[in-house]
Amino acid sequence: MPFDLQLTEEQEALKATLHEFSEDVLRPAARPCEEAKETSPDIHRQVHELGVTAPVPEEFGGGGTFDCVTYCVAAEELAFGDPGIAYQVLGSGIAAIVLGLAGDDDHKARLLPRFAEPEPVPSFVAYGEKVALGDLESLETAIDADKVRGEKYGVLNASDASLGIVVGRTPDGLGAIVFEGNDGYDVAKPENKMGLEAAPTYAVRFDDAGEALPAGPQLEQAILWTKLMTGAIAVGCARASFEHAAKYATEREAFGKPIGAFQAISHRIADMAIEIDAARLSVWRAAWKIDRGEATHADVAQANGQALQAASYCGDEGVQVLGGHGYIRDHPVEKWFRDAVTLSVFDPPELGGDTFVARSVFA
């Protein structure tokens, strides 16, 4: 099947629905959730009801699943509303995707119905480490049968999760352990972040036994899907900065004309648009390969690297286009810049842009 960039009618309809929801619901909630340092249960519930955060097959009580490309389209639109809220709600439901793709029959029948309940399930998928960060090939967390030992960073919902999945290395490659409840691990500390404050994260130590997910290609593709979530959110964050800056440049006047008429500003806007299109293409390509079971670590690392670079670039340029207004809370560009930088900490773009791609070239 050829790589097709044309969205289906269903994807276009979902995109339009989520865009309207993001503008009407998420944008107004962004500052209050940031100040509260968590996404409010009401907002989380509203997003959960849309069915995009934790897709569950109909046979397990859900509304059905969708492919990774559709997921990335949805993630971009939610992040366009607010990257912090998007990171919280999507990160809380990503465990359902891992279970649906890589769980055995017992895992699916026993655990997936939880995600189809009206109330969202606090859960997590933990893979980031202090040293490895987004590098799946350098993880120090060790998995031996059903036992896992290691320390993870950037773990959502660690203080109240009812289900968690921990990714580590086995003697044969990637592995994952499922924990039910919050026994089996210790929350070391909450993380104070520069941005994404609506998505509280924690450093967590694991040293106990859980339930091992079956190893194999399905598990690897599921883990790559969880990583690509970051890239899709980064594209939405970049687009938010770009559209706000472009609108401001058409309305703000200097020397008798809109500042967008000056090349110094118009070239910045144009470069932002180019970065976003390139990043989206890279993310969709990686998602398409995940759907075909062909994605590699390098594919997702390259996509995330490009998307995170675009988010940081557009965040910085958005602030610069607004000048002094870019540094005050009256405009959201300063927040999107902070969110972009924080996303980059979770999965450093230089790792995706250089290290993984170099490994794939010289392998």
Q: Residue 22 corresponds to which amino acid? A: S
Split at pLDDT 50, 70, 90, the class of 252 is confident
pLDDT in tens, 271-302: 999 999 999 999 999 999 999 999 998 899 99
Rounded Cα gap, residues 73 and 51, in angstroms: 14
127 touches 158 (CB < 8 A): no
Q: What is the reported pLDDT for 64?
A: 87
Q: What is the reported pLDDT for 361?
A: 57
Rounded Cα gap, residues 166 and 94, in angstroms: 12
Q: What is the reported pLDDT for 251?
A: 86
Please give the CATH architecture assigned to the domain spanning 218-362. Up-down Bundle (1.20)
- Has residue 33 got a pLDDT over 80? yes
The residue with greater pLDDT, 119 or 4, is 119
- Has residue 345 got a pLDDT over 90? no
Q: In which residue ranges of the chain is CATH 1.20.140.10 found?
A: 218-362
Our measurement of the distance from residue 17's CA atom to the centroid of its chain's CA atoms, rounded to an integer in Å, reads 19
- Has residue 134 got a pLDDT over 80? no
The angle formed by the CA atoms of residues 283, 289 and 293, to the nearest 5 degrees, is: 140
- Has residue 9 got a pLDDT over 80? yes
Q: In the CATH hierarchy, which top-level class contains the domain 9-115?
A: mainly alpha
202-213 exposure pattern, b = at least 16 Cβ within 10 A, e = fewer? bbbebebebbbb
- Has residue 353 got a pLDDT over 60? no
Indicate the CATH number for domain 123-215.
2.40.110.10
133 touches 105 (CB < 8 A): no
Look over the chain and give the mean of its residue pLDDT values, rounded to a whole number.
90
Q: What is the reported pLDDT for 92?
A: 92
Rounded Cα gap, residues 156 and 32, in angstroms: 19
The residue with greater pLDDT, 258 or 43, is 43
- Has residue 243 got a pLDDT over 70? yes
What mean pLDDT is predicted for residues 45-74? Answer: 92
Q: What number of helices (H) and strands (E) belong to the chain?
A: 12, 10
Q: What is the reported pLDDT for 214?
A: 92
Q: What is the pTM of this model?
A: 0.94
Largest CA distance in the chain: 70
Taking CA atoms, 268 is separated from 258, 273, 308, 315, in Å, by 14, 9, 18, 12
- Of 16-25, 41-50, 230-239, 338-347, least confident by mean pLDDT is 338-347
3-state SS string over 106-167? HHHHHHHHHHCCCCCCCEEEECCCCCCCCCHHHCCCEEECCEEEEEEEEEECCCCCCEEEEE
**Structure token digits, residue 213:** 């997910």
Nearest Cα neighbor of 302 from 346, 358, 220, 342 is 358
- Of 118-132, 175-189, 297-311, 349-363, least confident by mean pLDDT is 349-363
Split at pLDDT 50, 70, 90, the class of 359 is low
Which value, in Å, is the radius of gyration of the alpha carbons in the chain? 20
pLDDT in tens, 163-196: 999 999 998 888 999 998 777 788 888 899 999 9
Q: What is the reported pLDDT for 358?
A: 61
Split at pLDDT 50, 70, 90, the class of 1 is low
Q: What is the reported pLDDT for 254?
A: 83
Q: How many C-alpha atoms does 329 have within 13 Å on its Cβ side?
A: 5
**CA end-to-end distance (rounded Å), the chain:** 27
Q: In which residue ranges of the chain is CATH 2.40.110.10 found?
A: 123-215
- Of 63-72, 75-84, 286-295, 318-327, least confident by mean pLDDT is 318-327
The residue with greater pLDDT, 268 or 137, is 268
Q: In which residue ranges of the chain is CATH 1.10.540.10 found?
A: 9-115
